[in-house]
Structure 1
Amino acid sequence: MRERIPVVVQGRRTRRSRAARALWTGAELAVTLGVVLLLLVVHQLWWTNRQAQHAAHDQVERLERQWDPGPPSSAAPPAAGDDEAAARTPESAPSSGRPAHRTARRPPPPARDLAYAVLRIPRIGLTAPVAQGVGKAAVLNKGYVGHYPHSAQPGEAGNAALAGHRNTHGEPFRHLDRLRTGDTVVVDTAEARYTYAVRRILERTTPADGTVLATVPYSSVHPSYRFTAPGAYLTLTTCTPAYTSTYRLVVWGVLRSTQSR
C-alpha cells in the first residue's frame, strides 16, 4: 500500500497572512491617529486655555501694580520761602496780559501688541487685559482682548472696538452671549476708569459686516441695528456659534461715566 504525500498549498496561506498583517497594520495606524487627534483636541481645548488664562491673569496684575505703586512716601518739610512759590499757580502768577490757555494732555497711543488696559464684565465674571491690535499670535492667542487700532480709545468720542476669542486660547469672550441690555462693562486704563452700559446686542451677523465698527456703529446686514447720533461707544465682537467662526456676535455699549485716577 502506497502512502500519499500530502500536498501543502503555501501560496494561499501566504496571501491570507499578508492580508491579515495589512489589516492589523491598518488598525494600529487608525488607533494611533485617533490618539494623536485626541491629544490635539485636549491641547487646543484645555492646555491652550490654561496657559493663556494664567498669562492673562499675570498681565492684569502687572498693569494694576503699575497703576497703584503703593502709599506715598513721607515728604520732607518745605524749606523757608517755598510756601509762596508752591502756591503761585498760573492763576495767581503775575499776569502778562495774555490769556492763560490750558491744553489737556492726551496720553500717547499704546504700543502695538502690548497690554495697556483691563476689561471687566461683572455679568460673566471676566477680567482680561486689553492690548493694541487684533493679531492672533501677538494678542488674541495670549488670552488678551484686542483693540482695533483704527477705532477710538476707551473713553474717547467715537467707537472703541474690541475683539476676543470665543473658544480656545483663554477664550475671554466665551460667555459674551450671556450679556443683557443694561449690563455694566468697565475698561480700566492708567488714566481713568470708563464705565459703559450695554445698549444693543446683535446675536449673529457676517464677518464682512464691518460697519459694526464704524464711528457711529450700525449693521449693514441688519439695518434695524444702528445708532444714529455721535457718542462714546464700545463695541465687543467675537465668533459665533461656539467652536465655529461662521458668524460674528456683536455687543454695543454707551459710555456712562468716567472716573479719573
Structure 2
Amino acid sequence: MSWSRAATRLGLALVLAGVTVLGYVGWQTWGTTWVSQREHAAITDRLEQAWAADPVDPAEPADPADPAVGGGVPEGAVEVDAGVAEAIVEIPRLGADYRVPLLEGTSDEALAAGIGRFTGSAAPGGVGNLALAGHRVTHGEPLRDMPALEPGDEVVVTTRDAVHTYVLDTGGDDLEVPLTETWVVDPEPVDPDGGDVVPAAGQRRLLTLTTCSELFHTDDRLVAFGHLVSSEPRRAL
C-alpha cells in the first residue's frame, strides 16, 4: 500500500471519527432537549387529565405534608416512565409558556423528564424545604436561564389540590457551591461558612432551586432560595 493511499484512508477515518463525535455532541445538546421537551408537555398533559378525572373535594382542603417514602403514588400524582410526576412548575420570568413537570427524586430519568424534587424534601406547600434540581443544558434544560432569575421572581408549583406560589429571596446566580455542599437542600439551610446568601429568616416553608453553574460539565451548582407566600385551591378547568 502506498503512503499516499494510507494517508488518504487515515484522513477519512479521522473525518468519520470527527463527524461521529460532533453528531454525539449535537444529540446530547439539542436532540435530548427536543425529546425531553416533548416529554415535559406529555407529562403535564397527563397530570391535568388525571386531575380533571379526579377533582379535589372542596370539603377536604389540601394538607401539604411530606409524602411517606415508599408509600406508593401520592394522591393527585401519576406514574410515568421516569417515576412519579406530582406537580407542574411555572416560572414566569422564564416565559409565559414555561411549564415543567415536577417528579419525585433526582435520578437521571427524573431529571430527563422534568424538574426533580430531592428525596425527603418538603412536598409542595409543605413545611420545610422544597428542594428542586433541573438540568441547565441537555434533557430539556429547564433551568438553562437560571442566572436570569432575580429576587422577587415567582415560582409557582401546582398540584391537583392547590397552587403554591413561592417568591425568590436570592438571585439565580447569587450563590455557587460545590456539588458536595448539601446544606443547601437541608430542611433549614444554614451556610456553615456564614455566607450572606441564605434563605429568608423566619420562614418555615422554603424553596431551593439548584442547577449546574456552567452550561457544560461542572462539579459546582447554582443555588437560589425562596419562600412560600400563598397556597390557593386549584380551580378545576
TM-score, normalised by the number of residues in structure 2: 0.82
Cross-structure match for 2:104:
132
Q: Deviations over 1:129-171 (max 9, x none)?
A: 00101000x21122x1001111111101110101000000111
Distance in 2 (CA, whole Å) between partners of 1:171 and 1:104 is 31
Match among 95, 104, 122 for residue 152 of structure 1:
122
Greater alpha carbon shift after TM alignment, 104-113 vs 114-123: 104-113
Unaligned 5+ runs, structure 2: 74-78
Distance in 1 (CA, whole Å) between partners of 2:210 and 2:62 is 31
Residues 255/131 of structure 1: CA separation in 2 closer, same or farther (3 Å cut): same
Distance in 2 (CA, whole Å) between partners of 1:209 and 1:62 is 35
Mark the structure with the bigger radius of gyration: 1
Residues 248/114 of structure 1: CA separation in 2 closer, same or farther (3 Å cut): same
Mapping of residues 1-261 of structure 1, within 5 Å:
18-69=2-53, 109=68, 111=73, 113-125=83-95, 126-136=98-108, 138-142=109-113, 144-201=114-171, 202-220=174-192, 223-227=195-199, 228-261=201-234
Distance in 1 (CA, whole Å) between partners of 2:38 and 2:198 is 37
1:177 and 1:203 in contact (8 A); partners too? no
Distance in 2 (CA, whole Å) between partners of 1:105 and 1:19 is 77
2:90 and 2:155 in contact (8 A); partners too? yes
Residue identity opposite 1:32 in structure 2: L
Residues 53/242 of structure 1: CA separation in 2 closer, same or farther (3 Å cut): same
Residues 176/104 of structure 1: CA separation in 2 closer, same or farther (3 Å cut): closer
How many residues are paired up?
A: 213
Distance in 1 (CA, whole Å) between partners of 2:107 and 2:140 is 15
Residue identity opposite 2:143 in structure 1: F
Distance in 1 (CA, whole Å) between partners of 2:231 and 2:118 is 21
Greater alpha carbon shift after TM alignment, 222-231 vs 182-191: 222-231
1:216 and 1:229 in contact (8 A); partners too? no
2:62 and 2:233 in contact (8 A); partners too? no
Residues 223/63 of structure 1: CA separation in 2 closer, same or farther (3 Å cut): same
Q: What percent identity do the matched residue pairs reach?
A: 33
Unaligned 5+ runs, structure 1: 1-16, 72-101
TM-score, normalised by the number of residues in structure 1: 0.75
Distance in 2 (CA, whole Å) between partners of 1:105 and 1:179 is 29
